[in-house]
Structure 1
């Protein structure tokens, strides 16, 4: 099925994205007379159509640039939007927000339908400052430098060049000397750019701090809690959550690390001992190349529900995947919604590993979310908070496990894959706590230097097990581990959501094991809401609680531990 965009009703079918073509559209919206509630709703729909077109244009610029960071023309196309279009849109969007907030017909709107939208818009009005427009532009351009720097990283192993993602396969090798050499080679490559990335990060911190001060906040942390729309929890809840993870999850992982040490027959675990299989068998290889990964994932989603598989098949038919790792490609993986098309693009760096399988089903969960929200009335209704977006993806990682026989024909390999996945589910929680607590420290201490930052990271990482390995003699590498986390550079304060959503995903999976069809229906119904309901109602629709208390962490961790023990 070839996807076609829905016909536009307000903006020209072929809109050339230049300021000269956009300015009249914003002016018309700003000066349009609104005489009743129906006209107000139509105004919202017209504004939404314009914003969706702009979002999709920006999406393609970002996608193309991240697929080939070495292409200067693609970088310039991205920067053009960031420097020439967005700064002009920001003040006008703020004026449009005011026009809506001040409309005499706002009280005639359906209160339930527009509650979440109105709340977010009022918050945006509170936070807006003209003097921050230039800073946001500068941040947008500087943040992209992380992709350019890391996308250019490669190493040579056995006379062959590999991206860092591809080279990570060698860290799973059964031969300890091979994996130690590979791990050290990767880290040495990272250390080459350590100082440049530190300087870049210092610049980002100072710019972000200025944004917060301009908006009347003491620090960027407090500003971002408001900017991200965290209406349901506060910084203190994050500290409490971290304590719960330290108390309930870290001991389980320490116990597992000890089992790993004994199984590998080692006196102590080193950083290159954490990925190798303790079964004594080579690393799992669920597919041979990117094309096979896509086809097997379509088959896996079909087995859950044919409608889900059809959505991934549609993406394949429309070339909406770029999954294989190569030099010059940005690191990481993402699902980017195309606001007008109603479909997403999945980007990742596959090296034919189990981690790549979980990345694909994770991003596939996001993709299903994109399709399910495509027909919501306003573009803003599709802008889910990350706690909801990541619930979509992380739940799919676990729901899909019952159909991983598509990737693993050998029952023993399938069992191994499930065990490794569940171990990773638990490992996610302390690492999220590390990155989240590190960000709290960074932005409440904005005048620190690189050495202070490294020391703070070491202390925080140690508190949560530091990977449960001995770092003696590897102090430089230890202090630099944080630089691999793209979120710190590009999407600050976007990380605690993974832990909150991971708990939710475990709860969804627990329901799925008890009643698959009911749990799947609830999960899909929750995703279809987009962001038209408050977060706790979306979680309730999914059949779970929005809760990250110590008791809930303990309950769900115990469930995962039991499931692990059942696998033997």
Structure 2
């Protein structure tokens, strides 16, 4: 069993409410600092307090998403969001001021604290008192997305399915069954399209106001600052989009044409994109959630005993919720528990191949959480998504050579590997679409629903439109963006998946060439947390932080070569 780290500042039996928290924040604000050693102790005490607050909030979020129908769990989450976080924000800003104003700040180890202090100064630049209630309202409003989508279910035949469970029918070899499932799922989603449009319009307005309050022209530019994007600009994102359009989309268009021919179809429809073209039944890599966890532990252990032990620790401590069920929030995540030093993995398994890749993806995040658990300050563990997603997406590829634990048949194993490699390329245009769409949304804040539909369709078509014929389903195509949780809940957190996918392919290339060295470089990079720049972390992994057309072309060629070997 694992336990929270022993506290040195907070009482062990500390009760997490505002009445208990306020005196600690005020003590930190008032504490005299007379030496660099006292400043560092002050930073450690503050870090301990922040970790405790983060973990308490984590559990409120986890429990709420595990059961979106429980009013008590929702109330506990909302209490923290409305009664605690808004009161912490101004005090946290005062602590940041105290830190940067300290006469001993220049005596701190610059190499050790550079990234942390850079982030503190950026937070001070962005803080506005008037944004606190707006950010609270945003947080509560965006949680409505989970309530709306988590309550969605469909009846196929005589049985009710969650949306994740129903999606498994899209792999059925019977085209009529696939079509029925797709149309049923789509019709259910479209029932709530107006509700989701209304929700998003409210979020868009709130976010734009936050940006204006902070002195920015639009929410896009605000978020680039808020996300700490010190290493690239919006123009670099546009260059990434163009590289994906020129280097990846043609490969996927060619692959789609081969799919059409193999299925003997005149045109591909949306319900034709997940079925195996061999005509074989969908891959079934595990029986149920428990089997998925056990097989994943074995898979990770075969790569490295250390990796397997991390998942084993999580299982022994009840840190998984993997089965799909009605009332559970959609999607999947790995949530770090800041004090405990371990994470919680949440997902919606419907016993499909995609669930395998979700598990190893979130398992990569989990390993990252363990590797950074002992870093001195809590902020050292707050990795930017470009690094966090490198951990997860690299694990998807590194783990492939040990997927035999999921598949008894060699042919099924080959099918799984081929699907994974093509998916690693298919990720890139979708990332480009979602990212470019958000650039358009927030740099055109006064747009109408109709203009948003037009923008989405234009951008989606530029990157292949999923390589299917949407002529009879324009309404469904126009609303595809509503499926993407990130647009509602974590705006602009998406380009990172594309950057990390390129990095993951490069990590895997190193691993294929020298497994021991490649794995060690990967782990060494993750151990850094966020104590180095993104480029330095990628360098430690033995790869480049690069999304130029030439780099994209080289990595795509490597993936194609590896696909040819399977």
What range is the shorter-chain TM-score in? over 0.9
Output one character per residue of 1:292-317: Cα deviation in whole Å (capped at 9) or x when no partner. 00000000000000011001000000
1:557 corresponds to:
556
Please give the secondary structure, in 2, of the residue aligned with 1:348: strand
* Alpha-carbon distance between aligned partners in 1 of 2:5 and 2:64, rounded to the nearest angstrom: 26
- How far apart in 2 are the matches of 1:362 and 1:152? 25
Of the structure 1 ranges 447-456 and 263-272, higher mean CA displacement relative to structure 2 is found in: 447-456
| Residue equivalent to 1:423 | 422
After superposition, the C-alpha distances for 1:172-213 in whole angstroms (9 at most, x for unaligned) are 110100000000000000001100010000000000000000
Mapping for residues 144-543 of structure 1, pairs under 5 Å: 144-543=143-542
Distance 2:543 2:286 in 1: 33
Q: Measure how far apart 1:566 and its partner are.
A: 1.6
SS at match of 1:148: helix
CA distance in 2, matches of 1:304, 1:449: 51
In the aligned structure 2, how far is the partner of 1:330 from the partner of 1:465?
A: 30
Counterpart residue number, 2:13: 14
| Aligned-partner Cα distance in 2 for 1:217–1:511 | 41
Shift of 1:454: 1.1
SS at match of 1:188: helix
1:48-106 Cα deviation digits (max 9, x unpaired): 00000000000000000000001111011101000000000000000000000000000
Runs of 4+ in 1 over 6 A off after TM superposition: none
1:374-408 CA distance string (max 9 Å, x none): 00000000000000000000000000000000001
- Provide the secondary structure at the position in 1 that maps to 2:143: helix
- Residues 400-458 of structure 1, C-alpha deviation per residue, up to 9 Å, x if partnerless? 00000000110000000000000100000000000000000000001112111111111
1:127-159 Cα shifts (integer Å, max 9, x gaps): 000000000000010010000000000000011
The DSSP-based 3-state class of the residue aligned with 2:284 is coil
Once residues 178 and 406 of structure 2 are traced to their aligned partners in structure 1, the CA distance between those partners, rounded to angstroms, is: 25
Structure 2 distance, partners of 1:268, 1:321, is 41
Partner SS for 2:185: helix
CA distance in 2, matches of 1:80, 1:449: 34
Residue equivalent to 1:69: 68
The Cα offsets for residues 223-271 of structure 1, whole Å up to 9 and x where unpaired, read as 0000000000000000011000000000000000000000000001000
How many angstroms apart in 1 are the aligned matches of 2:17 and 2:60? 14
Task: Let me know the Cα RMSD of the aligned residues.
Answer: 0.4
* 1:75-114 equivalent positions in 2, closer than 5 A: 75-114=74-113
Q: Which deviates more, 97-106 or 443-452?
A: 443-452
Q: Distance in 2 between matches of 1:15 and 1:488?
A: 36
How big is the shift at 1:508?
Answer: 0.2
Find the aligned partners of 1:175 and 1:410 in 2 and give their Cα distance: 23
Please give the alpha-carbon distance, in whole angstroms, between the structure 1 residues aligned to 2:368 and 2:6. Answer: 22
Question: Displacement, 1:473?
Answer: 1.0
Take 1:566 and 1:304, find their aligned partners in 2: how far apart are those partners? 21
- Deviation, structure 1 residue 283: 0.6
Correspondence for 2:124: 125
Which SS does the other structure have where 2:155 is aligned? strand
- In structure 2, distance between residues paired with 1:547 and 1:266: 39
Name the SS of the counterpart of 1:344 in structure 2.
strand
Q: Distance in 2 between matches of 1:82 and 1:451?
A: 33
Tell me how far apart the structure 1 counterparts of residues 308 and 538 of structure 2 sit (CA, whole Å): 24
> Deviation at 1:16?
1.1
CA–CA distance in 1 between the matches of 2:205 and 2:355? 35
Q: Secondary structure at the match of 1:275?
A: coil
Give the Cα separation in 2 of the matches to 1:350 and 1:451: 35
Out of 46-55 and 556-565, give the one that drifted further. Answer: 556-565
Q: How many Å separate the matches in 2 of 1:328 and 1:519?
A: 41
Distance 1:285 1:450 in 2: 40
Counterpart Cα distance in 2 of 1:143 and 1:3: 33
1:507-532 per-position Cα deviation (integer Å, ceiling 9, x unaligned): 00000000000000000000000001
Residues 468-508 of structure 1 deviation map (CA, whole Å, 9 limit, x = unaligned)? 00001101111011000000000000000000000000000
SS at match of 1:232: coil
SS at match of 1:322: strand
SS at 1:141 equivalent? helix
Q: How far off its partner does 1:7 sit?
A: 1.2
Measured in 2, the distance between the counterparts of 1:343 and 1:513 equals 29
Displacement of 1:17 after TM fit? 1.4
Distance in 2 of aligned mates of 1:5 and 1:60? 14
How far apart, CA to CA, are the structure 1 residues paired with 2:298 and 2:100? 47
Partner of 2:37: 38
Given the two structures, how large is their TM-score scaled by the length of structure 1? 0.99
Point out where structure 1 has 5 or more consecutive residues left out of the alignment: none
